[in-house]
Structure 1
């Protein structure tokens, strides 16, 4: 009698993937410099990883600037994740509008325009800056907003891999009445993601260049999560012998045979097989899944830790202001002393 399949209870992974090229550091500086001319921040996150796609650096940079949070690619996420997230935001950040959208559909995009229009009612022209981690769909969202708002084509470059937008660009008009302009920005990664599996989730959803994370490792993680979700469609799709498996190599071998991924000498190309599997996942071919834990307990823990982070950042900003004042006084004393010396 065949033993029932038992999925792995843990995914053992201890490598932290860090990717912070120079254009991201420069982008973050320019974002900070241009904030004074911005009326509203639209922070785009990936609905598949609603917590892992948050960049704490934005909290420090944006400060108290009015903000709207958009969870994009919701068509690829678990639909039941929306309610607990909205409930958590209503309790912990009640003044921040939270919208769920897919740039492939118009309904959510129209809601963003309508929300932005409410801010624009108070001023003659609204300038909106769009920020977010790499590959959360900022540029695609901007193109959809422009298409719906002013009936024009693409204004921002898009691509499957992160890092397409490499500089803060000029303003893009997305609505005539009221007048709304958008500023696209490069995706900015967290310089250091402390949790290895969290960095892997960012990579799996396309936020980090594939070769930096290792495509086969990402497939192993996806296999682990699909088994956890009870989704064994990969067995029939790729003709995996013996049914559901925890063996990534067996899955990759089956994929390679199925798609004809063969290198010189007749060996199977596991890297090509892994890339194919990742592409299918990112297209939503295996279903709609949210990889972050969005249970009420997990969200409460996350927001509690975020409040602690905000307190730390506030204390840090106060310390910075204090040091700046002390430095200004020192320079003033030095100037005064120099003037007195010249007079004497």
Structure 2
């Protein structure tokens, strides 16, 4: 029975999953080269892993450009994760707009267009580059922006697996007045993720090719997280014997029987069962979960350790000093001009 079930207290995992194909290395080089022609960066992250879906390499490259953070797939994340993230950015990066979008509503997409329009008021035409880790939904977001902004169809290819966009493409118009163009970019993975469980989270949410991470291991991690959140509906849905379990094989056997994943030799196909279970999670059928720790303590620790926001702050301070010097020189010239006028 559920009342006597005790979930695992920890999940032991020591393998780091690294995936950095050649097109990603090329993509990040081209992104760097094209930054001079870009007015605004939209960095898309996965709301289910708001910290693990941050690429530090992006941060070091685009950190000094005006940017907007978009947490996509919020319809799949814990709805209570929004406020802590907004509060943390308000404290540590108050000039960075933070927006939340989902596939179920156009409201978030319209907010992105509205915020981008505010930047476009300062210049005749705004060029925006969209960056992010693989499979955070950049291309889908661009297609939605284009559909809502100019009433046109898909301009960027999409797919369930990461790595669909493999090159930086040309500009895509998403708004007529003011004129806004977007540049889609390939999802770029961190060449090396030092924390094993962090790399597993990226894989579970679809940021790394499934076969590289092992579908059954990913299901085992999901089972651990579901049990930890006291979400036991899976036991009823897949008719797991004796209810909730910490045994991943027992779960997968139940899933295989439920969906008819049986090989010619009448053996249960656990890999097919694992793929089905993962798909159900990614579609939100298992509920809405944020896999990263976003407690106040964890967010404080992240922002204080993050070099990217220190860079952004120091860049802002340098810019402020530069503007102050320019203003001082301007005032000095005006005083000098005034004195010369009085003398003459």
Aligned residues: 315
C-alpha separation in 2, matches of 1:14 and 1:123 = 50
C-alpha separation in 2, matches of 1:165 and 1:308 = 25
Q: Which residue of 1 aligns with 2:332?
A: none
Q: Which residue of 1 aligns with 2:140?
A: 140
Q: Which residue of 1 aligns with 2:320?
A: none
Q: TM-score, normalised by structure 2?
A: 0.89
**CA displacement at 1:198 relative to structure 2:** 0.3
Q: Secondary structure at the match of 2:173?
A: strand
Q: TM-score, normalised by structure 1?
A: 0.89
Q: Which residue of 1 aligns with 2:340?
A: none
Gaps of 5+ in 2: 315-344
C-alpha separation in 2, matches of 1:224 and 1:129 = 37
Q: Secondary structure at the match of 2:51?
A: coil
C-alpha separation in 1, matches of 2:4 and 2:307 = 44
**CA displacement at 1:308 relative to structure 2:** 7.9
**CA displacement at 1:264 relative to structure 2:** 1.7
Could you list the runs of 4 or more consecutive aligned residues of structure 1 that deviate by over 2 angstroms after TM superposition?
A: 307-312
Q: Secondary structure at the match of 2:13?
A: coil
Q: Secondary structure at the match of 1:43?
A: strand
C-alpha separation in 2, matches of 1:138 and 1:311 = 25
Q: 1:122 to 1:9 in 2, by over 3 A?
A: same
8 Å Cα contact 2:203-2:210 kept in structure 1: yes
**CA displacement at 1:59 relative to structure 2:** 1.1
**CA displacement at 1:309 relative to structure 2:** 7.8
8 Å Cα contact 1:146-1:174 kept in structure 2: yes
8 Å Cα contact 2:200-2:213 kept in structure 1: yes
Q: Which residue of 2 aligns with 1:275?
A: 275
8 Å Cα contact 1:49-1:292 kept in structure 2: yes
Q: Which residue of 1 aligns with 2:196?
A: 196
Q: Which residue of 2 aligns with 1:88?
A: 88
1:32-78 deviation per Cα after TM superposition (whole angstroms, max 9, x unaligned): 00000000000000000000000000111113110000000000000
Q: 1:89 to 1:2 in 2, by over 3 A?
A: closer
Matched, 1:263 2:263: yes
| RMSD (Å), alpha carbons | 1.8
For residues 189-268 of structure 1, the aligned pairs below 5 Å read 189-268=189-268
Q: Which residue of 1 aligns with 2:68?
A: 68
Q: Which residue of 2 aligns with 1:151?
A: 151
C-alpha separation in 2, matches of 1:311 and 1:102 = 30
For residues 1-344 of structure 1, the aligned pairs below 5 Å read 4-307=4-307, 310=310
